[in-house]
Structures are given as structure tokens and as C-alpha cells.
Amino acid sequence: MIKILIIDDDMDLGKLLVNCLMKKDYQPTYVENGILGLEKMKTIKFDLIILDIMLPEIDGFSVMKSIREISNIPVLMLTAKSEERDKVKGLQLGADDYLTKPFGIDEFLARVNSIIRRANYYNQQMEKGIIRYGNIELNSYCRTLKVNSEEIPLSNKEFDLLLLLMANKNQIFTKEQLYDQIWGFEGYDSYDEKNMVSFISKLRKKVFYGNEEYGGFIETVYGLGYRWRVK
């Protein structure tokens, strides 16, 4: 049975979500703050976390950061705020999706079902060493990329960067983070933002040939960096 952890200080909402999820044959666990949520994660392997931003003691952003330090479990963030910067911050920290309060139960369940479905498919592919979005297939064992069944030649750095982005879907990486992850110490003295922009541009052209309808794509998040965007 799929196990879902709900972290929200609104107990009435928490009970409502628990009841709705149980009716759909999910196994929900509710806690009212982030500290309890992180403790629960030590003893139970959850398949999804539903996380509110406005929490007592430690806020949802801090909880999100702590989750990503230990796990890639899917996270749906709940927020009463509609500001774009809060949504972007949640995604940048590694959230898979967000939902703004107040929301309808049907929309909530649709988001949950969608995240679970994507996560199951992704995990199945990762067990094979393959990440696949639409017509794009990245094989981490063979280090090959195929688009529409056609193999696309990539340099080692291009492959490493694409793997990093695709394996962390929707997570925003700054240019400096990408440089650090892919080039490491060898790149510290030679980092050049223009070179990074050019590198991303060339990789994007190799993968998409100007077409963004393959199930995912490299998105520029202006003022922040890049991410593998899954619609």
C-alpha cells in the first residue's frame, strides 16, 4: 500500500486529507509539525510527502531542505501564499509540485495521483539504469542518449549535466551549482557564466532540435538557473 506523510499544522485539514486518501486506498500518516515529520521518516518509508510551508518551529522550506539531504521522495508543497517567489523557492529546494490553499479535494487527489504515477514510472526506469521522458531516453549504464530512437552523441560533460538535470526533475540548479557538480575543482578557476550559457545552449540543441514536446526539456529559470522541466 502506498504510504503518504502529511505535515500540516492545520489539524482539521489534516484529518480531511487523511480521510480522503484512505478512501482511495492510500495509507496516510498525519503530523502537525516538521520535526515530527522528519522523525517519522526515520522509521517509515513513505512514497509521498505532503508538506505545508507555514509550519511552527521550523518552516516548510527548512523541512524541504532537510528531506532532500536524505531522500529523493516526491514532495507536494501546500501554501496559503500565491507569491511566485514562494513557489519557485519550493521547486528550487526540490519539491515536485505545489498546491495553493484553498484547494478542492478533487484537484488535490489529482495532483497526488499524478505524482505517484510519475514516481512509480521513474523508479522502474531507474532500476534499469534508464531515465525516460516521452521520446527521450537516457541510459546511465551505457551512457547513451536516444531521441525518437535515434542515438545522439554527447561529450562526457554534456552527458553528466543532462543526467544531473533529468535525475532531479523540476529542481532548479544555479549556474554555479552545475559548474561545481560537473566540473568540480577543475572548474573553479575557469568558471565563466557566458561559457555555461553557451554549453547549455549547445546541449539543448542536440537534445531537442528546437522541439520541446518530448516529455521534458531544459528550462531557463530567469534569475536563478536551469532545471529539467516536466509538464
- CATH superfamily, domain 3-125, is Response regulator (3.40.50.2300)
pLDDT at residue 127 in the model: 67
Positive/negative CA dihedral, 4, 10, 11, 13: negative
> What pLDDT was estimated at residue 214?
60
Average pLDDT of 91-116? 86
b/e map 135-173, b = 16+ CB within 10 Å: ebbbbeeeeebbbeeeebebeeebbbbbbbbbeebbbbb
Dihedral Cα 9, 11, 15, 16, nearest 10 deg: -80
DSSP code per residue over 154-201: --HHHHHHHHHHHHTTT--B-HHHHHHHHHGGGGTTT--HHHHHHHHH
Question: Boundaries of CATH 1.10.10.10 in the chain?
Answer: 128-229
18-25 long-range contacts (CB < 8 A, ≥24 apart) are 20/105, 20/108, 20/109, 21/109, 21/112, 24/109, 25/1
For the cut 90, the answer to whether the pLDDT of residue 172 exceeds it is no
Query: Which DSSP letter does residue 9 get?
Result: S
**What pLDDT, on the 0 to 100 scale, is given for residue 81?**
67
At residue 180, the pLDDT reads 72
Q: How many CB atoms lie within 10 A of CB 88?
A: 15
Please tell me the predicted confidence (pLDDT) of residue 207: 79
- Alpha-carbon distance 98 to 85, whole Å? 12
Fold assignment, 128-229 = Arc Repressor Mutant, subunit A (1.10.10)
Number of H helices, E strands in the chain: 8, 11
8-37 pLDDT tens trace = 999 999 999 999 999 999 999 999 999 999
Mean pLDDT, rounded, for 43-50: 94
In this prediction, residue 184 carries a pLDDT of 60
Is the CB of residue 26 less than 8 Å from the CB of residue 2?
yes
Query: Which ranges in the chain are annotated with CATH 3.40.50.2300?
Result: 3-125
pTM: 0.62
The C-alpha atoms of residue 129 and residue 124 are separated, in whole angstroms, by 9
For 125-144, write each residue's pLDDT tens digit.
Answer: 666 788 888 888 898 888 89
Residue scoring higher pLDDT (149 or 180): 149
* pLDDT given for residue 209 in this prediction: 58
